[in-house]
Amino acid sequence: MRVLPSAIAIAPVSMLFGVLAYRADWSLLEVLAAGFLGFTGSGQFALLPLAETDASFLTMLLICASINSRYFPIALTTTKRLPKTGLARTCVSHMLGDEAFATERSQDTVHETLIIRLTIFVCWVVSGVFGALMALAIPSTWLSNDIHLGFPASVVLVYLSVTQIKIRVSGVYRRQSVMIAACLVLVAACYEWLGPTYFWMPSVFITAIILENWKKHE
């Protein structure tokens, strides 16, 4: 199955979250809830320091929503591969992640989409809980800043992204480099103007608008 490399690659990242969360006095139930309800590596790791500073629930919710805002335009492109019923559609949409989107193909059926997303989702949630269970047995030296356990997932995601770009934009955009450059410039401008905390949401929406309008005029 083509989903297995992505599912296996994210396991150490989720385990790392479980270890850090457990050492920050999170319970196993809280680790499980963060993985099941949040299902986002960057958002979950952002919650750790916020929880330690006793940040309000609203603050943590806004931070997670800002980080996860990139999934809105992504989800809109996959609506044809979702179930028809409302509850099933909501559940499958919730399981959408970077790795799942990079693994899926436009011709995938609803069943294939469900298998891909469910496999990655379950692997992420289970790995987080497993990491929390292993926390007491892992030496502190293994968690130094020099060790990057997210490297395997990053490599797989980059490979899948490049593959998907070749498949999806081949023959669609005649001036791809200009389109990519325009998106990068606008994202950099948002980062410079709004800072690293608040640039996410506007840059995501602006990029989505550029891509949609570019596609219409090509």
pLDDT digit string (tens) for 73-85?
A: 778 778 889 898 8
Residues 23 and 28: their CA atoms lie apart, in Å, by 11
Nearest to 135 by CA among 48, 47, 16: 16
Residues 116 and 155: their CA atoms lie apart, in Å, by 19
- pTM recorded for the entire structure: 0.69
- The single-letter code of the amino acid at 156 is V
Task: Note the pLDDT tens digit of each residue in 153-192.
Answer: 566 667 666 766 666 555 545 566 777 788 888 889 988 8
Residues 121 and 88: their CA atoms lie apart, in Å, by 15
Using the structure block, give the residue that is written with the tokens 């968690």: 143
